Amino acid sequence: MNTTPTPRIAIIGAGPGGLTCARILQRHGIAATVYDHETGPEVRDQGGTLDLHEENGQVALREAGLLEDFFRISRPEGQEMRQMDPSGTILIHRIPEEGERFKPEIDRGRLRDLLLNSLQPGTVHWGHALKTVDGPAEGPRQLHFSDGTTVEADLVIGADGAWSEVRRAISPATPRYTGVSFLEAWFHDVDNRHPDIAELVGPGSAAAADGERGLFAQRNGGDHIRVYIIQRLPHDWITAAGLTNQDTDAIRALLMDRFRNWSPRLRRLIADNDGLYVHRPIHALPVPHTWEHDPAITLLGDAAHLMPPLGVGVNLAMLDACELALALANHETIDGAVHAYEKTMLPRSIDMQHLLDGRAEDLLSTDLPDLATDDDQ
């Protein structure tokens, strides 16, 4: 790539996609700077567990030179999946085979640390919240950050998630509420403090649904379990009830009433949590989402194709990152690389968007899809 002696590549967002892209670029001798709005890597909890698939997420890690490191710290036992009915009867129990590596689990925080520690010192610039992108279409582009600083870049890569600021520069699309809401509950030191829940969930995941509501529980590292309480509700259902996210006891009472016909054992996944519930309404981009080619801006991951959480998000983000980095390494110009990347990424993401459009409802179905084995997830 020889557009300039040293092309200035700015990656917005230090999530798995952005960090994977930076890592693979650096392995090919291409410098990139990652800008993230958070003030540091330990500012907040990074979320739950992820399953990295053999055909996409693991492909990216192999190109990043990190696949064996991933296998050493991942949890292959996390591939176990239990599906139940509201009475707590197990309908499907999938146990991974010995040595199975199709989609091992890893905590988001551990994956982020793996990627961060692989980068050259100073790659990530923390505390840089992007406000706007401007400049001529052919570049260079100017990035304006909330702290008043401005940076020029020959290529801006939007890896900044669902509410991407980079996306605004090339697309008017904004995420829409799907009508399905998650409420996240945390359980700590589960083998000692919550042994019944630990036994119920097992080493992997457990799910149940009745058509209107559902539960999805995941074992995380460090003896933690996260439970996602899934409901079809208005986006503002908590405030409409006269409550705030801090009103744990009142929210718990509402939930216990809504799940009143479920087994007492499953209801403990709602009632015995440690700390606050975390509200996570599910959004998705309009289908299909695309944009006019821009020679100095492109998108990857949720910034490009936010979809319901059905097992594809981080895997597609990392595959996007891998393919974009390799395109930049193998093309003479940035524009040519972006063209080549989008020629593959956009059709793939559009196909997946169509496949998953409206399927947040599947999370409530009595034949809840098996997130551990469903081939189209």
Domains located in the chain, CATH noted: 9-77+100-174+285-359 (3.50.50.60), 178-284 (3.30.9.30)
Omega of the bond prior to 288 within 30 degrees of 0, cis?
yes
Q: Under a CB-based contact definition with an 8 Å cutoff, are residues 179 and 335 in contact?
A: no
% helix, strand, coil for the chain, step of 5: 35, 25, 40
> What does R_g of the chain's alpha carbons equal in angstroms?
21
pLDDT tens by residue, the chain, 377 residues:
654 468 999 999 999 999 999 999 999 999 999 999 998 887 766 678 999 999 999 999 999 999 999 999 999 999 999 999 999 999 999 999 988 999 999 999 999 999 999 999 999 999 999 999 999 988 899 999 999 999 999 999 999 999 999 999 999 999 999 999 999 999 999 999 999 999 999 999 999 999 999 999 999 999 999 999 999 999 999 999 999 999 999 999 999 999 999 999 999 999 999 999 999 999 999 999 999 999 999 999 999 999 998 878 999 999 999 999 999 999 999 999 999 999 999 999 999 999 999 888 888 988 744 443 333 33
pLDDT at 368: 47
Cross-strand bridge partners of residue 94: 81
Cross-strand bridge partners of residue 9: 155
**Rounded to an integer, what distance in angstroms lies between the CA atom of residue 33 and that of residue 12?**
8
Handedness of CA 48, 52, 56, 59 (dihedral sign): positive
pTM, two decimal places: 0.93
Structure tokens given for 265: 């054992």
**Rounded to an integer, what distance in angstroms lies between the CA atom of residue 145 and that of residue 131?**
5
* SS3 call for 375: coil
